[in-house]
Structure 1
Amino acid sequence: WQGKFYEQTAGTSMGSPLSPVLADIFMEEFESSSLLTADLRPSLWLRYVDDTFVVWPHGPDTLQDFLQYLNKQHTSISFTMEQEQHGTIPFLDVKISRNPDGTLGHSVYRKPTHTDRYLHQRSFHHPSIKSSVNRTLVQRAFEVCDQDNLKRELQHIQTSLQRNGYKPNRIKISKPDQRVPYTQGPPTVSPSVTLPYIGPASHHLQRILRQAGVKVYHSSGNKLQGSLHTHKDKQDSSSKPGVYRIPCECGKVYIGETGRNLPTRLKEHRAHGRRGDFDKSAIVKHSHINDHKVDWDAAELIAPIQFWHPRRIREAIEIRKHNTVPQDIGFHLNDIWLPLLQTDGSPIP
């Protein structure tokens, strides 16, 4: 950020698929040890990821002491607390309330900043995407609300969808059918394709592909997100792994792949030349045999690719597309793909 690199000193990286698993394991251990040694314990402790619903039967005076006790158990864990107001409290997307008979009621919770703004009926999206808005809201109402709050929530959904341009006769507020049809034998996997939605032509193409047994899914076209630029500093492409190209003064090039950065790989090539290990670098061997000069400064990364197998495939493709020095052709490509790689009209060996 602004030319500076920051190191995360605790926890896993943001976005890592391992993060929620490790966090859950840590919290289970934290809860077991902390609740076991507490002087007073809640009668109910329910947690979803990092949100916890607690029933405290010991009065409000001792609740603050319990919060301070939890925050002293680990230096990296800090709890905040929200208490019920006027007999209600939100937990995730559920609003929990006390009923006069002592039971708990539950309804859909919306933040004060919620505007009931959903995908408008006149927006240029496939009809199935618009109908999913109706279906998702109704399904959540049936899953979250009790019988006393369900009718009120369904009425709210109907009013909100009408404000977003949906016609009353097209709004469905009945309980979605979640039954899965029973089939004998292994499930059949149908071919599918995702296409951009472009209006009536998409519907026509969908009917044709459906007759051929192909499922069609539609994606939206240009979005505002694609026009917005990130504020992060751009990383130099040469610092990434990928497929690279080294030119020679004779017009030929060397194509290679590396899991390290390009400067490191170039140093290895040049080191082979200084030590006389010409068989370890095709470009160095070509330069030595033909007394050619390698343009090391013009070497470039032509395809940043992180994983080894895709890199090997791309390397083989680029070798076929370029006029290369004598080198290993790399990953075997079926000859059926060669016409697609022939971009300049010259034959591909």
Structure 2
Amino acid sequence: MGSKISPILANIVMSVLLKYCIPLLPFQVPITYQYVDDLLLAIPEDRTATTLAVFNNYDPHIKFTAEEETENGVPFLDTKAIRCAGNIVKLDWYQKPTSSGRYIHYSSNHSWAMKTNLIKGMFRRIKKICHPDFLHNSEEKLLKIFENNGYPRMFLNRCLHSLTSDQVDEVPQIRTSTLVEPATHDKYVSLPLIPPLTGVLFSQTKDRIHTMSRSDVVYRIPCENCESVYVGQTSQCLKRRISIHKSDARLRPDRCALASHSSSLDHHFKFDEVEILCTNSNYNKRSFLEMCFINENENNINKKTDLKNLSVVYSYLLSLDRRPSRQT
């Protein structure tokens, strides 16, 4: 217990155990689910003792206990499999009776992003787990739990309704009485560290984020018809910001300097050649960096108001940096 390899070994042992024990049962098992060392089986009502005997005889060091169906349902992890008419199994959200229901409190000194993501993550999980027949009751139950943790109902409803359809895969969790085939999984291998060689072969271990998918950036867009450039900053995804620029250039020429330049001179910008100058998640720092880059680009088309907050001291230092150094 506690080792990183424990769940891997448990999965391997349980997979081998199932392949050995299931054929020994004197009846057909239409539904079999396994998660690490937890099993969900559909067996005849009077065959629980027989099933336990087969599984517990596999190895003297492995012993199972059984939780039988009550009120047409049985818990499995954080779900409850409920048997309905027509041999259909529907899933509901489940919490153990010992669950404290305590989450990050509304008045705790955590960031709003963490609190919001917690609420959205819990609602998103319920939407993925629950069958539509049980979804409303589960949502109300979760709302009550968060209210007990100090969250206002208005704030909770806003988080709930802000979940878009692309954030939640609302596929009804309906299972019929059919044997589930083992799922195929990706295979992974570990490679030894060879100091002179590993760093060369795996110099980039993370996938690069596409330019248009980055956010919290200061960017520069060149004009296609002249040498002018526009410098801007955004916290949004750059692709969305570029779309707004294109729309402003056509419909709202007074919106920004880029739109005004494009509309008044009938110039077009090379949006596909947008360059990210720097990245910073802090708005004030990002705005300061934007002013510095505007000041650095002498052929910029930005408005003078874009530089109004730049100190004359910084402006002077930046101008010195642009001067060619004297050769002695």
Report the TM-score when normalising by structure 1. Answer: 0.46
Higher RCO, 1 or 2 (CA under 8 Å, sep at least 6)? 2
Report the TM-score when normalising by structure 2. Answer: 0.49
